[in-house]
Structures are given as structure tokens and as C-alpha cells.
Amino acid sequence: MSRMLPRRSAVLLGAAGLLAACSAEQCDTSRMTPDLFTGLGCEVGGGFSAQERIRSDQLNSARANLSIQQNAAANAQADAANAVQAKAEAQARLETLESSNATLRRRLTAAQQRAGADRAAISRAQAELDALERDRARVQAAPQPNAADVQALQARHDALLKAVTGL
């Protein structure tokens, strides 16, 4: 019987050594085949705790990534709303310009009918108004009217209005 004790001690020490030798990778419950010794080894050797820390770190990283993605989506949504607003404002300015161009055309027609009107100046003004209308239609047909183009059209219109007023 005294010989059994050292043999049992050796077996227990060997088993304890095997139990303590489990790493976090070996204790990944999604990939391991559960058995008593592996489970005990993972518990005693800290493999389950290490695996839990790894999963927790992965979860925290995924949460941070999700937060970044949500912020990017919110920014994209705000940019889209701003683009829609800018387009609506540009379209409104272009429609106002179109109406004002019609008024200019009526003034030019009235100027032509006056006696002693400068026919050459009226023809130049009509040609500029025609070009302005073509450019306005082109800018208005664009999917996203460029604010600088709208502003340039407005400046041309204002100059033409001043010239027509003097006729």
C-alpha cells in the first residue's frame, strides 16, 4: 500500500500539470470538444478566464467600430440633407432668374417698338439674354446645380438688366 501512494501522487501531479498547461486558444469553447480533463485544465489553468478576456476585448472593439460606423452614417445623412437643401436653394434662385429674364425680354420688346431706339444695342442685349437663358437651362438641368454657376448667371443677369434699363 505504501507503493500506491507515490504512484497516486505521481498520477495526480501529472494530471495537475496537464490541467495547468491549457492555453486560451485551447480553451476556446466555440472550437473545443468538451471533456472533463480539458474543462478542468481550462478552469484551473486560467484558459477560460483568458478566453473570456479575449472575447470581451473583441466585443469592446466591435462596439467601438459600430460607434464609428454610426457616426459616419449620421455625417453622411447630414451631408445628404445639406446637399438637398443646397439644390432646392439653387433651383429657387434659377426659377427667380427665369422669371426675371422673361421680364427683361418684355422690356426689350417694348424698347424695340419705341421710336429712335438703338437697334444694335437691343440686338446685343437680346443675344446676351438668349445666351443667358441657354446657360440657365443648362445649369438648372444639372443633377446638382453649382452655386458658383448660379451666382455667375445672376451677375450676368444683373449687368444685362442695367444695360436694358438704359435703353
Instruction: Enter the C-alpha cell of residue 33.
Output: 470538444
The predicted pLDDT at position 92 comes to 93
φ and ψ of 133, to 5 deg = -65, -40
Residue 19 has pLDDT above 50, yes or no: no
Dump pLDDT digits (tens) for 147-157.
899 999 999 99
The reported pTM is 0.59
Domain boundaries, the chain: 4-45, 48-165
Judge contact between 28 and 34, C-beta under 8 A: no
Q: Following CA atoms 75, 94, 162, 125 in sequence, which dihedral angle do they give, to the nearest 10 degrees? A: 130
Judge contact between 22 and 43, C-beta under 8 A: no
Dump pLDDT digits (tens) for 51-67.
889 899 999 999 999 99
Judge contact between 164 and 104, C-beta under 8 A: yes
Instruction: Enter the C-alpha cell of residue 67.
Output: 460607434
**From the CB of residue 45, how many other CB atoms can be counted at a distance below 10 Å?**
21
